[in-house]
């Protein structure tokens, strides 16, 4: 029942909020809803057992409404649940036009995300997968930047092609289950021959690879991140890209293990290429949002490489890194949002000297940046260590090439820090003021999490075991 609340609370408030006209009411309701969801998610995490909710849905199709909260699902639900109130608090002072629709769509996206992480029935999973996409399409197209319509459309069609191919794969699997069902257990029990596994692997993997995104399916991502309203970008990069990784871990590797290990080499190679490539491009970026976007591709690349190494430690590294990367990137986006709101620019070349004007923000940004480079004592270190270790055991040369991305990450992240907060003040930054109550609170919370999980990573590791 507790699991069901994770879906019901945002669903009911998300639909209900459309009826309100008053902006303040809308914001309050959304924040209360998001906080309530967080509390439920925390209760779920403290309960060690795997919780399953099962109800009849479409008996004639062999699909049931099955939710399953195990460690991996819980950690991502927790991420989703924590991210939402933080986002809502950050944008509390901002006024989006027709905010009821904005918040309503945001909450509906949350339903989709939670559903994807919880669904233990393939058709249900597909439903939520799409449900997460549709509101985001409207959010980006209505409130996004200048080129929003075409960019979002590209993003939508890209992912839609992927999900239809995935549907084909899921249907194929369905007809090969023993009991004609979409249940996750039945899918795991399917035995296919090598050729069939390869076909299914291709169909599902393309969908997940577009969502993550892995090189060369990543072209939608930097544009979409840049053009989306920052609140949506936060959802996209902190939570939504994790859908792809999560789907591989839940629906791909257990279902077609043979094909997964056969294609591991190809996937890891692509991921490593993507890591280095994205890192190199990130160095060249002048736009803060694009820089974070490419940095995100590099981080996701490491996760996707690590999960195909077939190494238990690396896999748990992926799981905790999904959580930690979500938290870190959320912090970076919040800083980007604050800078853009205040100064009207995101260009590194036009910024500088913010440490003098906004010391609190500067300190918090430095911690966030260190976490982005995965320095020890920050939360990202443990996950990256486990993943690189797995990659090392898989193939030393792969690890060596992938390892250069650590250095490159330091280059672009520190470069950004330097250009934003150090240096001389200029006409644009001269009038900057420090971050205010709301945003400060959020960033402090994020930094606390970074430090806490950096020093005590065992809580997360135990959760995903």
Partner 1 sequence: MNAIIFSAVLGVLLMFSGILFSKKSAITATAVVSLLALLLVNIAESYGWFTINVDTKNLLSFGRFGLFFNSILISATLIFVLLSGKEIENTGVNTAEYYALIMFVLCGISILTAFNGLLMLFLGIEIMSIPLYILTGADKRNLKSNEAALKYFLMGAFSTGIMLMGIALIYGATGSFDLVSGTNKPGSAGLEIPSFLKSAGYILLFAAMCFKVSAAPFHFWTPDVYDGAPSVFTSFMATIVKAAGFFAFIHLFESNAALLGPSWKILVSFVTVATLVAGNITAVFQRSIKRMLAYSSIAQAGFMLLALFANNDLAREGIILYAVAYCMATIGFFAVLIKVKDYTFEGFNGLAKKDPLLAFSATIFLLSLAGIPLTAGFFAKYYMLASVIKSGGALWLVITAVLFAAISVYYYFKVIQAMYFKEGSPEVAAGSAMYRNLLVLLAGLVVLVGVLPSIVLNWFYF
Residues that bind partner 1 (CB under 8 A): 58-60, 126-127, 130-131, 134, 138, 141-142, 148-149, 153, 156-157, 160-161, 164-165, 167-168, 171-172, 174-175, 199, 203
* Token duo for residue 247: 């789907």
Which helix (H) or strand (E) segment holds residue 213: the answer is: none
> Own/partner pairs for 147-154, CB < 8 Å, 24+ apart?
147/223, 147/227, 148/227, 148/228, 151/220, 151/223, 151/224, 151/226, 151/227, 152/224, 152/227, 152/228, 154/220, 154/223, 154/224
Residue 383 CB, shortest distance to partner 1, in Å, is 33
**Residues 463, 465: Cα–Cα separation, whole Å:** 6
Residue 397 CB, shortest distance to partner 1, in Å, is: 35
Nearest CB to partner 1, comparing residues 137 and 385: 137
Q: How far is the CB of 312 from partner 1 (least distance, A)?
A: 33
Is 460 buried (19+), middle (13-18) or exposed (0-12) by CB count in 10 A? buried
Could you tell me the smallest distance in angstroms from the CB atom of residue 19 to partner 1? 13
Sequence-distant (≥ 6) Cβ neighbours of residue 426 within 8 angstroms: 350, 352, 353
Cα atoms found within 13 Å of the Cα of residue 82, Cβ hemisphere only: 23
Angle at 279 between CA 278 and CA 282, to 5 degrees: 85
Nearer to partner 1, 105 or 335 (CB): 105
Rounded Cα distance, 214 and 267, in Å: 9
Pick the closer one to partner 1 by CB: 123 or 338: 123
Q: What are the C-alpha distances in Å from 410 to residues 312, 370, 375, 418?
A: 28, 8, 10, 12
Nearer to partner 1, 40 or 116 (CB): 116
Enumerate residues 6+ apart whose C-beta is below 8 A from 76. Answer: 117, 239, 242, 246, 322, 323
Quote the least distance from Cβ 164 to partner 1, whole Å: 4
Whose Cβ is closer to partner 1: residue 203's or residue 238's?
203
Residue 442: C-alpha distances to residues 83, 196, 222, 333, 448 (Å): 10, 48, 25, 12, 10
Minimum distance of partner 1 from residue 195's CB (angstroms): 11
Closest to partner 1 by CB, 213 vs 274, is 213
Are 238 and 231 spatial neighbours (Cβ–Cβ below 8 Å)?
no
Say if CB 137 and CB 156 are below 8 A apart.
Answer: yes
Nearer to partner 1 by C-beta: 89 or 124?
124
Which lies closer to partner 1 via its Cβ, residue 165 or residue 411?
165
Q: For residues 92 and 176, which CB has a smaller minimum distance to partner 1 in the complex? A: 176
Question: Smaller CB distance to partner 1: residue 26 or 44?
Answer: 26
Tell the smallest beta-carbon distance from residue 176 to partner 1 (Å): 10
What gap in Å lies between CA 362 and CA 374, rounded to an integer? 18
Least CB distance from residue 229 to partner 1, whole Å?
A: 13
Cβ 461 to partner 1 shortest distance, Å: 35
Least distance between partner 1 and beta carbon 130 (Å): 4
| Separation CA 61–CA 122 (nearest Å) | 11
DSSP letter for each residue of 184-200: HHHHHH----HHHHHHH
């Amino acid at each position: 029942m507790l699991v069901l609340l994770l879906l019901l609370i945002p669903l009911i408030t998300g639909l209900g909020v459309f009826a309100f006209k008053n902006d303040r009411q809308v914001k309050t309701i959304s924040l209360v809803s998001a906080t309530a969801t967080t509390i439920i998610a925390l209760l779920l995490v403290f309960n060690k057992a795997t919780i399953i909710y099962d109800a009849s849905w479409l008996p004639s199709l062999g699909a049931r409404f099955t939710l399953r909260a195990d460690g991996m699902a819980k950690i991502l639900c927790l991420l989703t649940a924590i991210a939402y109130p933080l986002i809502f608090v950050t944008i509390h002072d901002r006024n989006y036009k027709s905010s009821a629709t904005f918040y309503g769509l945001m909450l509906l996206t949350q339903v989709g995300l939670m559903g994807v992480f919880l669904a233990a029935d393939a058709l249900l999973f597909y439903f939520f997968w799409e449900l997460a996409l549709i509101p985001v399409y409207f959010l980006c197209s209505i409130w996004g930047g200048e080129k929003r319509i075409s960019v979002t459309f590209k993003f939508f069609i890209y992912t839609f092609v992927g999900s239809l191919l995935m549907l084909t794969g899921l249907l194929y699997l369905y007809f090969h289950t023993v009991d004609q069902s979409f249940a996750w257990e039945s899918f795991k029990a399917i035995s296919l021959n090598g050729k069939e596994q390869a076909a299914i692997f291709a169909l599902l993997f393309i969908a997940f690879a577009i969502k993550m995104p892995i090189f060369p399916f990543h072209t939608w991502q930097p544009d979409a991140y840049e053009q989306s309203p920052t609140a949506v970008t936060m959802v996209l990069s902190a939570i939504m890209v994790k859908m792809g990784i999560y789907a591989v871990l839940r629906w791909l590797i257990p279902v077609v293990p043979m094909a997964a290990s056969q294609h591991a080499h190809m996937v890891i190679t692509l991921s490593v290429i993507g890591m280095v490539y994205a890192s190199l491009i990130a160095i060249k970026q002048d736009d803060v949002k694009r820089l974070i976007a490419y940095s995100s591709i590099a981080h996701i690349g490491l996760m996707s490489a690590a999960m195909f190494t077939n190494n238990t430690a690396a896999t748990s590294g992926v799981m905790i890194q999904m959580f930690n990367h979500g938290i870190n990137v959320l912090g970076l986006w919040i800083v980007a949002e604050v800078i853009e709101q205040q100064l009207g620019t995101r260009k590194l070349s036009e910024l500088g000297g913010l440490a003098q004007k906004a010391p609190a923000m500067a300190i918090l940004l430095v911690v966030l940046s260190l976490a982005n480079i995965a320095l020890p004592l920050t939360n990202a270190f443990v996950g990256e260590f486990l993943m690189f270790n797995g990659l090392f055991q898989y193939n030393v040369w792969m690890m060596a090439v992938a390892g250069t991305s650590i250095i490159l990450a330091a280059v672009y992240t520190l470069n950004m820090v330097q250009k934003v907060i150090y240096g001389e003040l200029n006409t644009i930054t001269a009038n900057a003021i420090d971050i205010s109550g709301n945003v400060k609170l959020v960033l402090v919370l994020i930094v606390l999490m970074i430090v806490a999980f950096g020093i005590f990573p065992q809580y997360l590791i135990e959760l995903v075991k």
